A and B are shown apart, each in its own frame.
Chain A
Amino acid sequence: MPGRGWEWPVPEPVLVARGLSYRYPDGDADALRGIDLSLEPGSFTVVAGESGSGKSTLLRAACGLVPHFHGGDVEGELSVGGLDVRERGPGDLAAVCGTVLQEPETQVVMGGVRAEIALALEHAGESATAVARAVEEVALMLGIAQLLDRRVETLSGGELQRVALAAALAGSPSLLVLDEPTSQLDPVAGDELVWLLRRLNEEWGVAVLLAEHRLERCLPAADRVVVMEHGAVVRDDAPAGFLDWAARERPALATPAARLFAGAGLKPLPVTVREARDRLRAGGLLPKAAAGDGADSSSTPNGRLSTRLRRRPPAALALRGVWHEIPDGPAILRGIDLRIAPGERVALMGRNGAGKSTLLRHAKGLIEPTRGRIERGGEIALLLQNPGDYLVHERVEQELGPEGIAAAGLTGRERANPRDLSSGERQRLALEIVLGGATPAVVCLDEPTRGMDRSHKDSLCAHLSDLAGGGAAVLVATHDTELAAELADRIVLLGQGTVIADGPTADVLAGGRHFTTDVARVLGGAGGALTPEQGARLLERELVA
């Protein structure tokens, strides 16, 4: 306790931006506009905003890639760890700022984990003993000591991101910037990474600046949220204040639990699932009904599903005893039986390696089953994980005809290079390419919402629903339970190459622990409510009662 007349010294901010503006060399507009920002040591700040809002550019400025790597014009001031970013490049800033980027595969440089973690320290000219000690300590701290002697090509995406994090932390930086580090990971690996960041922040006092789309994942760890739009900071607040603002002004940024409360007219909005549950319990509003009991199916087509199943129309896609066995490896699919009716919307879920992507490739006919048979009711359109893989020409008009371009909502952008399109636009274009102007029997999509913001997700859902309305079956392999809840009639859960659950969405998701939505977690699966809208209606009934 400080004595009278004694004052704690005010720590120097780890990052200070004053009137920071930046334009890329070939940019038409500023990517950053008049940013004023100050980050205190030991703070945990989340940068929120839609795709293209300037989040990544801000983070790249913090680590010096902007302007030293990308070029372009900078105005205003930016200092990190006391170093002026305009004067000092990423090599100098590496000592004070660790950086983790989006793509796990290309940010690991060396062949072995130990060498990768040691690289930055060796660049700094540290002695061999200092390097060895730092590598051991950071590996123990992040729980990756068992990976030290592994080759990087044998690591999973989550393990690679941890190694990248270890490499960024090895030099004991005071600031850690992370640009959507979970966007390429499955939910379990993503959650683990965020919890690891929270531990680092609490135990080591490392200031964290994290850009992320799935805010429900990282808000519980954050003490501040900075919202960006068109390159400018439009909101800078604590998580609770941010949610209150977002629920009113930018619903697409609000978390499912906050949207649930806002929809039911409850205040204040919760930051965490636990907070939401505690408040409902304290107010006597936590519904007691079991999963599926009194499910609000007005916006889910479960009723329609059962009707359809009774009629038993010809299958859009049927897999009968399908096996996929690697000649010198394990069986990826083990006797899959699956029947999908026209117009049905199915979400294919399961952990990484469960066989989801392999099943979609079989559906399309990219690979042949080693045993079993596949019947297709017509053309199968398949959109793989990375829409950019479909874009092989220099101009949009070379990829698609005028009708397709109009269907993708890209009229007026015919002469644009597909690589210059936003992620949402690229996905729409790729989807129209695989549809080929016709309605196929089945539209298959593999992880279509990876790294996608909520507004793009909503428009994708609407588009897929339209296709289903036109008679196409929709089969989506996804980890995104919120997407599954919004879109699907039915969930097929894969585990180790077999179907371990297959049923209506509310039944499968509301009763799950991992494969469930935040709203179902808050409400304990009551009423089969999965989406904020369903949950809010349920709470309103409780309030009336």
Chain B
Amino acid sequence: MRIVPSYRPGASALHAARAGAGIAFCGSFALVSTLYDNPLVLAGALLGVCAAAAGAGVIAELKRAAWFAVPLAVLIVVVNALVNRAGDTVIFRGGTLFGHRIDVTLEAVQYGGMSALRILVLVSAFALYSATIDPDDVLRLLRRFSYRSALTVSLATRLVPVLQRDAQRISEAARCRPEPPRRSAVTVAAITRALDRAVDVAASLEVRGYAGARRPRRQRVAWSRHDLRVGAAALALGSLAVAGKLAGLGTVDPYPIVEVAAGAPELVLAGLLMLGGAAPFVGARARLGVARA
């Protein structure tokens, strides 16, 4: 099962917006996850991402990312609970292991949960970005600054499914042998094949004039209504997150007793983040005529 969301053309405002606006929109949710550990604010941001994903028609891609994100979140909760002994409320005494006392506190579990929520927001924002922003547009955007790095990222994205298919074929071929080879030999063969593929792609790049690539000319493209909607939402979300932080909203003091700011300002902030996620799609029907692949 594919757990990394991949871009497919779609008919939504986010798909239609220029890459810069789309990156800023998805990035504003990532910004919230880095600025806040308040569960109320983070929940608002997560719902905002979900609203945006629903508006863009990529909820399935978000679910796919959840296969990776939820186990990671659970792992963070467990590790924090086992490793961090701060907190006054001991809920489990597990004895001693390798000279380390295993006491699980309620505060460590709660703070682990908040960290897990941050990860969920971050992964969801990245999944939204991966599913809705055309990597070719991102390459076009970034190549004025660092063309080769941007192209490397684009190629890596493009080659992942090709290499997955290669690895699957090599694995199937191994199953066809009367005595299947060692797993390590199959892995080395798959890596070797990946290197061969890389050489082929490098040759293709060369004959497309990569070695003589010049810095592209700056091109001005008028802002569409989708660019404006998504860009404005990104600006509003980013400003809201920064302003809230500067105003001291959403503070959390995890130890020794968890104290979470959960008043009206935090509720309003969470609500605005959620609405901000849906904002570009309200009343916007991007009639792009782009076939959904």
* Interface residue ranges, A against B (CB under 8 Å): 63-65, 68-69, 89-95, 97-99, 101, 103, 105-112, 114-115, 119-120, 122-125, 127-128, 149-154, 167-168, 171, 361, 364, 366, 379, 381-384, 386, 388-393, 419, 433-434, 436, 438
Contact = CB atoms under 8 A, between A and B. Distances in A.
Contacts of A379: 178
Contact of B201 (A109, A152, A364, A383): A109
B172 A366 contact: yes
B207 A94 contact: yes
Contacts of A94: 207-209, 212
B211 A89 contact: yes
Interface stretch (B90-98, B179-187, B236-244): B179-187
Contact of A386 (B169, B175, B178, B207): B169
A65 B211 CA distance: 12
B176 A390 contact: yes
Contacts of A419: 192
Given A94-B208, A123-B214, A151 B200 contact: no
7 contacts: A64-B206, A106-B197, A106-B201, A110-B139, A124-B209, A150-B291, A384-B173
Given A101-B207, A114-B136, 18 more contacts: A65-B203, A69-B202, A90-B206, A94-B209, A101-B200, A108-B204, A109-B205, A110-B158, A111-B136, A111-B158, A112-B136, A124-B214, A125-B214, A128-B217, A150-B293, A381-B176, A384-B173, A393-B185
A11 to B, nearest CB: 24
B7 A90 contact: no
A390 B203 contact: no
Contacts of A364: 176
Contact of B209 (A91, A103, A153): A91
Interface string B145-174: 000000000110110011000000110111
A6 to B, nearest CB: 39
A105 B162 contact: yes
A250 to B, nearest CB: 30
B224 interface: no
Given A123-B214, A125-B216, A90 B176 contact: no
Interface majority SS (helix, strand, loop, mixed), chain B: helix
B134 A112 contact: yes
B148 to A, nearest CB: 12
Contacts of B212: 89, 91-92, 94, 123-124
B154 A123 contact: no
A90 B211 contact: yes
B206 A65 contact: yes
A111 B7 contact: yes
Interface residues of B, number: 55
Given A90-B206, A151-B8, A389 B169 contact: yes
B67 interface: no
Nearest to B184: A392
Given A94-B212, A106-B200, A111-B135, A149 B290 contact: yes
Given A91-B209, A392-B188, A127 B217 contact: yes
B100 interface: no
Nearest to A385: B169
A112 B7 CA distance: 10
Contacts of B197: 106
B7 A151 contact: yes
Contacts of B135: 111
A391 to B, nearest CB: 7
B250 to A, nearest CB: 38
Contacts of B293: 150-151, 154
B208 A167 contact: yes
A135 to B, nearest CB: 12
Nearest to A103: B200
A69 B291 CA distance: 39
B222 interface: no
A151 B135 CA distance: 11
Given A65-B207, A434-B176, A392 B136 contact: no
A364 B178 CA distance: 12
B138 to A, nearest CB: 10
B9 interface: yes
A92 to B, nearest CB: 6
B172 to A, nearest CB: 6
Contact of B189 (A150, A366, A384, A392): A392
B210 interface: yes
B168 to A, nearest CB: 10
Contact of B203 (A69, A383, A391): A69
B177 interface: yes
Contact of B175 (A101, A103, A151, A366): A366
Contact of B204 (A109, A123, A151, A392): A109
Contacts of B204: 101, 106-109
A384 B157 CA distance: 27
Contacts of A381: 176
Contacts of A114: 136
B213 interface: yes
Nearest to B180: A392
Contacts of B158: 108-111, 152
Nearest to A155: B293
B256 to A, nearest CB: 50
A319 to B, nearest CB: 18
Given A101-B203, A103-B200, A123-B214, A382 B134 contact: no
Q: Which of A95, A112, A154 has the most CB of B within 10 A?
A: A112
B186 A392 contact: yes
Q: Which of B8, B176, B193 has the most CB of A within 10 A?
A: B176
